[in-house]
Copies of this chain bind each other. A is one copy, B any other.
Amino acid sequence: MSKAGDEMTPRTNEQNNAIRRQRIYQIKNIAAKVFLEKGINMEIGDIAKKANLGRGTIYHYYNNKITLLEDLLSEALEEAKKNTIEIINTNELPLVKLEQYARRQLKLWVEQPFVFILFKNYLLQSEFIPAKNNDEILKDFQTYLYIPIVKTIEEGIHSGQLVSVDSDTAVKLFFGALVGTVHSYIKQNDSLYLTVDTQWIDDIITILFKGLKA
């Protein structure tokens, strides 16, 4: 109705891009939290409300719920990949690598819960995420995040550094303990990821590796 618009300068491309980036960041972060609470039953309306946006606005940035989740998982994959590669591709002994990896992983999960979502969902397969590229993500998860650890654990076992058990069992315990334990530590501090007390991380690692060592 209003023909107003004396400020005919509509908005520069750059300004728009900035808004866009900021909105996507915001949405993704909130979505991660909501997903953590409600899983696949996360509602677009929940996100919109928490973000103080209209439901339509979410759809302005994401075609649908699945796309949003895919984006979330993809980014988590990248983040975790970086972390994994960095540590696993060193020349340390398997045991050292695993310990460093575990410690870093726990920190990462607590600081960026959406990365935790990735692990929780593909390890605990709590629920099937009907993402179109779900298989692709799963494959990448296997390739870049899971197999490297499996390999390292196998190395550890064969080299006699780790307990001599079926490697499959060891892997399941390794990831299971991490994911299962961390869960309780997430969701509590609503955004104060910075001031996290990390004593528990050290304790978890200590105990877990005492058990795993040969």
Residue ranges of A at the interface with B (Cβ–Cβ < 8 Å): 1-8, 10-11, 37-41, 123-128, 163, 165-166, 168-170, 172-173, 175-185, 187, 199-200, 203-204, 206-212
Contact = CB atoms under 8 A, between A and B. Distances in A.
Nearest to A11: B6
B204 A173 contact: yes
- The quantity of this chain's copies bound in the complex is 4
A107 B212 CA distance: 22
Among A123, A165, A173, A175, residue most surrounded by chain B Cβ atoms (within 10 Å): A173
Given A38-B127, A38-B128, A163-B210, 6 more contacts: A2-B5, A3-B4, A4-B5, A169-B200, A173-B203, A179-B180
A172 B184 contact: yes
A176 B166 CA distance: 21
B207 A124 contact: no
A200 B166 contact: yes
Contact of A180 (B1, B40, B180): B180
Given A39-B39, A211-B209, A172 B181 contact: yes
Among A40, A41, A169, residue most surrounded by chain B Cβ atoms (within 10 Å): A169
A-B CB proximity, top 7 nearest: A5-B5, A180-B180, A211-B211, A176-B180, A176-B181, A177-B177, A207-B211
Contacts of A212: 207, 211
A209 B177 CA distance: 13
Given A41-B40, A182-B176, A199 B166 contact: yes
A175 to B, nearest CB: 7
Nearest to A164: B203
Contacts of A209: 211
26 contacts: A2-B5, A4-B4, A4-B5, A4-B7, A5-B5, A38-B127, A39-B126, A123-B180, A125-B183, A163-B203, A165-B206, A165-B207, A166-B199, A166-B200, A169-B199, A170-B207, A172-B185, A173-B177, A173-B203, A173-B208, A177-B177, A177-B181, A180-B183, A209-B211, A210-B210, A211-B212
